[in-house]
Structure 1
Amino acid sequence: MQAVVLAAGEGTRLRPLTADKPKAMVEVDGKPLLTHCFERLADLGATEFVVVVGYLKEHIAEHYGDEFEGVPITYSHQEEAKGLAHALLTVEEHIDDDFMLMLGDNVFDANLEDVVRRQREDRADAAFLVEEVPWEEASRYGVCDTNDYGEITAVVEKPEEPPTNLVMTGFYTFTPAIFHACHLTQPSDRGEYELSDAIDLLIRSGRTIDAIRMDGWRVDVGYPEDRDEAERRLREARGAPKTESAESAGD
């Protein structure tokens, strides 16, 4: 499968780490966030990385060039930050078939292969990695509900009062049908074209979306303390001693 990575974000909540670089280039355990994404997607058999860039995009292109460890990279420019559905539409012309989608601000040590396997073997319309989070944190994410068959029946983006604490983690597989849904999506109350609204359109059109429960962990790196948490977990995973982040020490 091709792999799309959304990496156009400015990362204002990560300041000062993003004062001179895009969010995707913030280092976690000695590597940019985007490198962590590429490594996981390459392990899953990605045949091409299609990267959506925006803020300080030249930093990403200059760092990676046109390939990563033998996997070709195609860049797509999101000129304005109008939401994830808008970002996804910028890659439509580059996608040939079913594809993986990863948000470029996540670090995963989890069962992503189960999502890809479900897409390949069952030819699902889409499959998402989901996890339960503390109720007080659910409003930070796209919240979803499921039926008894493990299919997603509703999705709402960052609700003030979450109906469940089951959230999307930032890793998905889709068929190209998602692009038609993105075209039909209208701006939300936040003024953005939300991926969750496009997903909801897929569901209402009768498409089946499978929810794969996460086995492992992931960290959504939205704040400096999240970056530190991701580093701690990565060091623990490889048995390395705990050390203070070099960037945190300099802040």
Structure 2
Amino acid sequence: MKGLLLAGGRGTRLRPITHTRAKQLVPVANTPILFYGIAHMAEAGITDVGVIVGETADEVRAAVGDGSRWGVDVTYLPQDEPLGLAHCIRVAAPFLADDDFVMYLGDNLLEHGLAGLVQGAARDEARGLRPAARILLCPVDDPQRFGVAELGPGGDVVRIVEKPSDPPSDLAVTGAYLFTEAVHDAVAAIVPSERGELEVADALQWLIDRGRGVAHEVLSGWWLDTGKKDSLLEANRRVLATLTPRCEGTVDAASRLDGCVVVGPGAEVVGSRVQGPVILGPGARVVDSRVGPSVAVGPGVLIEASTVEDSVLLDRVHLRGVPRLVESLIGPDSEVLRTGRTPRATRLLLGDDASVELP
């Protein structure tokens, strides 16, 4: 079985952060989102992984390399334009050949990874069954935002509806799929949707309509699409909560660490309180501040005389004199400073698609 990991796309919902980096490389708990997907592939026993790349291909290649750190072999598959998930399958067809494969969206996170999806296919095979696809479904409060599965009286998937105004169920189709070679016929047969993309929902429906079989299971754990700031912060909270405390830096006697706190190599905590779950990246410094809970502090970040909660600070961010920063995603090399200059005013330098809330 092969893996297909999608790392193309433009990441418009995470701008301005994604003006300068691939959305799949934005970190959750100081680890790029894409790395979790590769690790999930390896944990499921998949060692031959194709990665779809687009305009951020060079950045993705530099970050991922050949995949050897995860024990997998990575093949990069360029996609000239982001023309839909089913188009990714079309692009990857020569790499996939006739093998079964797991397709996983590179900006999604699954609490329990992909092992259950692969094991479900193995159980089908042991019973002499071979559905053309297997999908993971997750109950959601707002199914209008997702592709939604309609189940028949016997529990079979009978219809996939993309972002329905009147959802037939609350079961959203997550960003993980397992396909046999039959999906290539479906991808070849469907036409672009109204938004000009080849939709994976249409390919699944094509298989269902021809009796090829689409199996499913309902997730027992959480699933998050990290494509927006709020969902990325939620992913950060959940992953931070799974970390094991450790200290590879220094914490002075005037400081206090509570709960799960990871202090990375060379990081310093001086005269501060850190309330976990929190991770401090290599070389980060926290001085006369309060950090946490649910904060990921990237490498080289400096926090002085500030309070930070429920936020992600990317590499080399500098905070000074910030009374309370919450629910924020701060891009690399940014500064948030209270200068004390008069007349008192707010001074901003913002890029495209920035969002600022002032008290």
Same fold (TM over 0.5): yes
Shift of 1:124: 2.7
TM norm structure 2:
0.66
Q: 2:248 maps to what in 1?
A: none
Question: Could you tell me the percent identity over the aligned residues?
Answer: 35
Q: How does 1:45-194 map to 2 (within 5 A)?
A: 45-68=45-68, 69-95=70-96, 96-110=98-112, 112-122=114-124, 123-134=130-141, 137-194=142-199
Partner of 1:200: 205
* One-letter identity of the residue aligned with 1:168: V
Pair 1:246 & 2:313 matched: yes
> Given the superposition, is the C-alpha separation of residues 120 and 215 from structure 1 closer, same or farther in structure 2, using an over 3 Å criterion?
same
Contact 2:22 2:56 in 1 (8 A): yes
> Does structure 1 conserve the Cα–Cα contact (< 8 Å) formed by 2:40 and 2:113?
no
Instruction: Kindly report which structure 2 residues correspond to 1:7-22, keeping only aligned pairs within 5 A, or say none.
Output: 7-22=7-22
The answer to which structure has the higher helix fraction is: 1
Question: Tell me, what secondary structure is at the counterpart of 1:198?
Answer: helix
Alignment length (residue pairs): 249
1: CA distance, partners of 2:179 / 2:155: 17
Q: Partners in 2 of 1:92 and 1:164 — Cα distance? A: 32
- Cα contact 1:114–1:212 (8 A) shared by 2: no
**CA distance, structure 2, for counterparts of residue 94 and residue 164 of structure 1:** 35
Corresponding residue for 2:31? 31
Matched to 2:84, the amino acid is G
SS of the equivalent of 1:189 reads coil
Query: Which of structures 1 and 2 has the larger relative contact order (alpha carbons within 8 angstroms, sep 6+)?
Result: 1
Q: Which runs of 5+ in 1 are unaligned?
A: none
Is the deviation greater in 170-179 or in 143-152? 143-152
Query: 1:189 & 1:94 partners in 2: Cα distance?
Result: 28
State which structure, 1 or 2, has the greater radius of gyration over its C-alpha atoms. 2
Separation in structure 2 between the aligned mates of residue 115 and residue 149 of structure 1, nearest angstrom: 21
Larger CA deviation: 192-201 vs 237-246: 237-246
Measure the CA separation in 2 of the matches of 1:150 and 1:30: 40
Distance 1:113 1:250 in 2: 33
CA distance in 2, matches of 1:22, 1:12: 10
